[in-house]
Amino acid sequence: MDAPRETLQEILMQTQAWAEAIHIMNDRQALIRDLDWGVYDQVLFIGCGSTYYLSLSAATLFQSLTGKISRGFPSSELLFNPSSVYPGNKGQTLLVAISRSGLTTETLQAVQNFKLDKKGTILTISNYEDSPLVKMGELNFIIPTGKEQSVAQTKSFASMYVACTAFSAIASNNLSILDNLMKLIPVGERILNDYEGLMGETGKNHDFQRFFFLGSGIQYGLACEASLKMKEMSLTVSEPFHFMEFRHGPISMVDEKTMVVGLLSDQQREYEQAVLLDVKKHGGHTLTLGESKADIEFDSGLPEMTRGVLYLPALQLLAYHRAVSFNLNPDQPRNLSAVVELEFSDPTNKK
Ligand code: F1P
């Protein structure tokens, strides 16, 4: 089978979508600053699948930069377990609904209920104009260059992640992040260029039968997304964990057929590398990503909270090359459609 091209092209061309996301957020800075920030008790980021994992990372980033309580949830939790999401009946929430398509039923239903219950303000981040989600949003950030032919999200995810980074920087008035975002573009292009070979070799190595992706802080949601790519595209057994959690059970799975990918931070690197050393002691293999002294080095000179997106391109290439090496079509993962649309009976019967 010829190597399918759509996913690869989308991965390789993604920095155009990053740049568009930065421009769109920059142009609309005033709308973000003008939000009545004092009234919100919390900020919720929601999505499904990839966009749920994006929500986890975005919420961590947002809270770290703004100091405002911020959490990421699967959209379905707002429907099925609202009491675990909303602290009480009082207080307003800023809801950031993230969806590539703007069509996913659980996200639409969660946003609709939020609106009917007057829980606060709805902000959306997506890639398609005029979607039902965008129609419900009070503030919409649409990055059209993130649109994809492929089912698995790659450049769309990265474009919306960059938008979340800019959103958090604007909300916290962190100009050092905002002014540096465009510097991500050449770094992303260099990573794609320099590490495709290594990702191809690692992906094609069928001695590795299971993968683990470790990340803490903002890297945790990104580790989840990298693990999902591995599952969707290459049907490989793969799981994400926080670094220090790995010793508490999952390490039992490590043997010479195991590859553990570490999304290294700057601050806690010593602890993270100690976990990877334990993996090696048990016969496992490791691959690291980080600003410096890693197998995949960003060498960006950018602050840590600015550069989360840099973990994505190499790990997307890893999943892509592994899929192709198994003769699978990464453009069209097994059993998966681009959007999950459900005949849905709302558990709260609000409609
Ligand atoms: C969410 C999503 C994707 C997944 C698959 C099914 O879509 O779960 O993350 O890869 O395509 O849908 P969306 O709400 O972000 O459009």
Encode pLDDT of 139-190 as tens digits: 999 999 999 999 899 999 999 999 999 999 999 999 889 999 999 999 999 9
Name the nearest CA neighbour of 351 among 15, 191, 113, 32: 113
332 domain residue, yes or no: no
Whose C-alpha lies nearest to ligand 1, atom 5? Answer: 338
Q: Residue 330 — very low, low, confident or very high, per pLDDT cuts 50/70/90?
A: confident
- 191 and 148, same domain (yes or no): no
- 224 and 87, same domain (yes or no): no
Q: Residue 347 — very low, low, confident or very high, per pLDDT cuts 50/70/90?
A: low
- 157 and 236, same domain (yes or no): no
- C-alpha angle 240/244/247, rounded to 5°? 85
CATH number (domain holding residue 251): 3.40.50.10490
Q: What is the pTM of this model?
A: 0.96
Name the nearest CA neighbour of 18 among 215, 186, 227: 186
For 217, the domain range is 183-325
- 255 and 291, same domain (yes or no): yes
Please say if the pLDDT value at position 3 is more than 70: no
196 domain residue, yes or no: yes
Poorest-pLDDT segment among 25-34, 86-95, 282-291: 86-95
45 domain residue, yes or no: yes
Alpha helices in the chain (DSSP H): 6-12, 14-27, 29-33, 50-66, 75-80, 82-85, 105-116, 132-136, 155-171, 175-178, 184-204, 218-234, 269-281, 312-325
- Ligand 1 centroid to Cα of residue 296, in Å, is 28
Averaged pLDDT, 317-343: 89
Q: How high is the pLDDT of residue 268?
A: 97
- Ligand 1 centroid to Cα of residue 60, in Å, is 21
Whose C-alpha lies nearest to ligand 1, atom 11? Answer: 338
201 domain residue, yes or no: yes
148 domain residue, yes or no: yes
Poorest-pLDDT segment among 29-43, 110-124, 256-270, 322-336: 322-336
- 43 and 161, same domain (yes or no): yes
Mean per-residue pLDDT over the chain, rounded: 95
- 75 and 168, same domain (yes or no): yes
- 119 and 207, same domain (yes or no): no
Tokens 């290294």 sit on residue: 264
Pocket of ligand 1 (CB under 6 A): 47-51, 99-101, 104, 107, 151-153, 336, 338-340
- 168 and 268, same domain (yes or no): no
Residue 335 or 219, more confident: 219
Alpha helices in 206-298 (DSSP H): 218-234, 269-281
The answer to whether 55 and 63 have CB atoms below 8 angstroms apart is no
User: Rounded to the nearest 5°, which phi and psi values hold at 5?
Assistant: -105, -25
- 139 and 200, same domain (yes or no): no
Q: Work out how many domains the chain is built from and give that number.
A: 2
279 domain residue, yes or no: yes
- 99 and 116, same domain (yes or no): yes
Classify strands 237-241 and 40-47 as parallel, antiparallel or unpaired: unpaired
Residue 172 or 333, more confident: 172
Please say if the pLDDT value at position 64 is more than 80: yes
Name the nearest CA neighbour of 185 among 16, 9, 12: 16
Q: How high is the pLDDT of residue 349?
A: 61
Atom of ligand 1 nearest to the CA of 152: 10
- The one-letter amino acid code at 192 reads L
CB-count exposure of residue 200 (10 Å: 0-12, 13-18, 19+): middle
